A and B are shown apart, each in its own frame.
Chain A
Amino acid sequence: MDPARLRSSWVLAALGLTFVATVVGVMVGAVTIRPDRVLLELIDHVPGVDVDSGLSASRQAIVWDIRFPRVVLGLMVGGMLAASGAAYQGVFRNPLADPYLLGIAAGAGLGATLSIVWGAGDGVGYFDPIPVLAFAGATAAVGLTLLVGGAVSGRGTPSTLLLAGVAVAAFFTALQTYVQSREVERLREVYSWILGRLSGANWDDVQLLAPYLLVSVGVIIWSRRALDVLAVGEDEARTLGIDPERVRWIVILAASLAAASAVAVSGLIGFVGIIVPHFVRLLVGPSNRVLIPLSFVLGGAFLVLADLVARTIQSPAELPIGVVTAFFGAPFFLLVLRTRDAGAGV
């Protein structure tokens, strides 16, 4: 009998799916590009490798400058949201926990709304302030939640933290709604940001997000075994030699950083942080050491496929990706829940 561990067959399956999602994501669009050409074109960009994909210069640009960065950003954002959700669920021992739990969505929403109504979102110059203000709003909201929830003084319990998150989210949402209602002519833009999008993604976004991904997801993955110990509760974890407050702090900070930075570049894409970890949990069991890395990989694949639907179903118009993740994710999730070991807890 083997203990729970990351089986190579699962990793290969998850990476395989991600690979397929990537290739299909680059292939499909207003012009369809053959998968072999997509691959060759991508290989051509590996440093030191020179192959001819047979694509014209404009199609090369479609692959490399438009579609591929968008797919890569989708992989990153989806992975970060899913890993963040899995981490929150582990640290709060609550299956309903999601990456927006501690006020990140409301804070980011306020930041983005301010940035849009101040007119800075028109893309003056090359500098786009929306991600910066969204990130600032998200971290301000989480910071306030942690402060109010007593985590800073060390007296907070997970439930006071959750309640503080609810209150802070309500407060920031109220501010955001107020600002938005005074500037109704910008409503469309605000609304489109809130529902999330990967459109217009470029390599700068990828570069901007990469360090945040490395740090946050790195810490979450590194802490995944401590989260397994925390599953027996704080007191028992302590008698097993784990300092529960320390683990909680580290994981909350890392998961919040992941969610805040992902949201900053992509808007409020909902549902990924809940559905992907639960889906993985139903397939491979509840052990965080398996769940967290697989959620990260599959979260990315899921978001790339959702984005594919978002940009093709009503082409040339784009659906907000958050609508797609919920519309396709929810029924699929319910189906899995029904056919698998339902009611077995999460």
Chain B
Amino acid sequence: MITELFSATVLVGILASGIRLATPYLYASIGESFGQRSGVLNLGVEGQMLMGAFASFYIAFSTGNLWLGLLAAIIAGAIMGLGMAFVTVNLQAEQGISGIGFYLFGLGLSDLLFQKLLGTVETVSGFSKIYIPGLSDLPVVGQIFFSQNALVYGAFALVPIAWFVLNKTTLGLKIRAVGENPEAADSLGVSVARVRYFTIILGGILSGVAGASLSIALLNVFQQNMTSGLGFIAVALVYFGGWRPWGILGGALLFSLVNSLQLWVQVLGIPIPSDIAVMMPYIITILALVITVSRVRAPSALTKPFGRGE
């Protein structure tokens, strides 16, 4: 049975679903990395994802329009991000704990709205696969990379965009300056508050989209607590990836491939207890944190509120 795992079709299946599973992590982690690069740790990603997942599902379900659903997720994520920005920037609240507060808020509110507005588990037909002409016909890679839905492509496109914005634009420079040395940035006329508002709301939007990618593109249902810890993993992947988009991509792929491998192990009936298999990605992430953290330095101002000290 073990040998079955290495047959061509199964390997292609593992890789294709691994790419798909990386989608929510990529959106949420890249979004979170913007916040962290500017010095704000947002632990409420899970709550933002749940709100995004519910909003997009509900709108897509009631209007039949997936793009309107996606817009709803963006708005829901942006509102959650706005709240987080106000609390951490204006009120200078402890970031880790505020994030937990927003997590509980999103967890409860999405559940409440689900029970009141939907009542039962419904399904939508989510974003369908887009076969890239020419490329999707290629053997092996066609099925793995070029036969996915729009949100999957979007997630992977986000990586080079985020890299470009952070490293090659003035905006990126401001974000990094605010995260490394807010006092210096402030004295040069960069508004620390404005930059942080931007990154936290952007993070909220991307977390909302991450939720939507689950509820209207990958799973096409909404359930209470459907993210089940995914948002927290996304935060861990930012550390794992050393706050760099390409590093985050590596972490997200590693995590989702191990997960996808684990799913296939169960499908093929290989006698490894599934609970132990599910454990593996988490253990690997901890080990990876041990290895990477000592090499990479976090943004200096991470978790530190900035006040001008009037």
Q: Do A and B bind each other?
A: no
Interface residues, chain B, with chain A CB atoms under 8 Å away: none
